[in-house]
Amino acid sequence: MNGLCSGRVAVVTGAGRGLGRAHALALAAEGAAVVVNDLGVGLDGTGAATGPARQVVDEILASGGQAVAHGGDIATTEGASSLVRTALETYGRLDALVNNAGFLRDRMLVNLDEDDWDAVLRVHLKGHFLPLRHAAAHWRAEAKAGRTPTARVVNTSSGAGLLGSVGQGNYSAAKAGIVGLTLVAAAEFGRYGVQVNAIAPAARTRMTEAAFADTMAVPADGGFDAMAPANVSPLVVWLASAACAGVTGRVFEAEGGRITVMEGWRPGPTVDKGARWTPAEAGEAATKLLADAGTPLPAYGAQ
């Protein structure tokens, strides 16, 4: 099968449903052999089933592509290492890692208990770090052996991680952490032939349909479905391919037919006294700087 990712091997976490499924199918359609990871858990991360990953693999095989299922927990060292091993033992190589797995346990901060905080940070942030670490260790070894790869990592952040989202303190913190992780990994792994980028997608999935039911309905007239997960996947495929050479450390927002390069923190208005401020002076200086600064965008759900 020819395509943008022909001959490449890609791993996609959380690929049994929603965005991950769409990414896996799109990668396979462009010629990649795909390791489809999914624990098959519920929306809140409980339970487990091998069915969703297996169904996606069956879809890919039926269309003439190559795929294998992986049911390990990628937020554990063994699960993440076995994910990389599955790609290497099945296909002999690993070219792209798409970190996508996650779930929600939404609460207002005053009602958010420690278990819900830990569970969401674990699956989103640790579930990005561990597969990234094990994949990068393989790529570093390849580079040191004189076989520098053309490797790609696509992480999944969110608008909640960029702006915050009311009722999603744990999720927002995890997704913001993923942006920081992306920037560090891009800086550290470039010498090994690895490019690392992130997307902040918006689409209709189990994680979003309840919050955005009014705006995410499937068009009744059969027109363009702006909230279909498959709309996000073409950008992911490109970022996972060799075609995006030189693109690293970037965050892209993707929704419907729109792609936006997100521009993060950068210095705005500044003043330097050249000596220590008094508290009153610092407050006066900060007030003047704020008057010259742009107005920040509100958190999602803010009144």
Of the candidates 68, 182, 210, 83, the one whose C-alpha atom is nearest the C-alpha of residue 125 is: 182
Burial of residue 208 (CB within 10 Å: 0-12, 13-18, 19+) is buried
Residue at 147 is within a domain: yes
Residue at 94 is within a domain: yes
Q: Domain range for residue 138?
A: 9-262
Tell me: pLDDT of 220 over 70.
Answer: no
Asked if 256 contacts 226 with a C-beta cutoff of 8 angstroms, the reply is: yes
Q: Which residues sit opposite 198 in a β-bridge?
A: 155, 251
Asked if 8 contacts 96 with a C-beta cutoff of 8 angstroms, the reply is: yes
Residue at 291 is within a domain: no
d(CA 98, CA 233): 11
Residue at 30 is within a domain: yes
155-212 pLDDT, tens digit each: 999 999 999 999 999 999 999 999 999 999 999 999 999 999 999 999 886 555 555 5
The token duo for 287 is: 């007030």
Tell me: pLDDT of 29 over 60.
Answer: yes
Q: How many domains does the chain have?
A: 1
- Work out the pLDDT band at 223, boundaries 50, 70, 90: confident
Q: Residue 141 maps to which CATH number? A: 3.40.50.720
pLDDT at position 224: 85
Residue at 196 is within a domain: yes
Residue at 107 is within a domain: yes
Helix H, strand E, coil C: the string for the chain is CCCCCCCCEEEECCCCCHHHHHHHHHHHHCCCEEEEECCCCCCCCCCCCCHHHHHHHHHHHHCCCEEEEECCCCCCHHHHHHHHHHHHHHHCCCCEEECCCCCCCCECHHHCCHHHHHHHHHHHHHHHHHHHHHHHHHHHHHHHCCCCCCEEEEEECCHHHHHCECCEHHHHHHHHHHHHHHHHHHHHHHHHCEEEEEEEEECCCCCCCCCCCCCCCCCCCCCCCCCCHHHCHHHHHHHCCHHHCCCCCCEEEEECCEEEEECCCCCCCCCCCCCCCCHHHHHHHHHHHHHHCCCCCCCECCC
The token duo for 34 is: 């795909």
Tell me, rounded to whole angstroms, the distance of Cα 128 from its chain centroid: 8
Residue at 3 is within a domain: no
73-127 pLDDT, tens digit each: 999 999 999 999 999 999 999 999 999 999 899 899 999 999 999 999 999 999 9
pTM over 0.85: yes
Residue at 300 is within a domain: no
Catalytic annotation, residues: 158, 171, 175
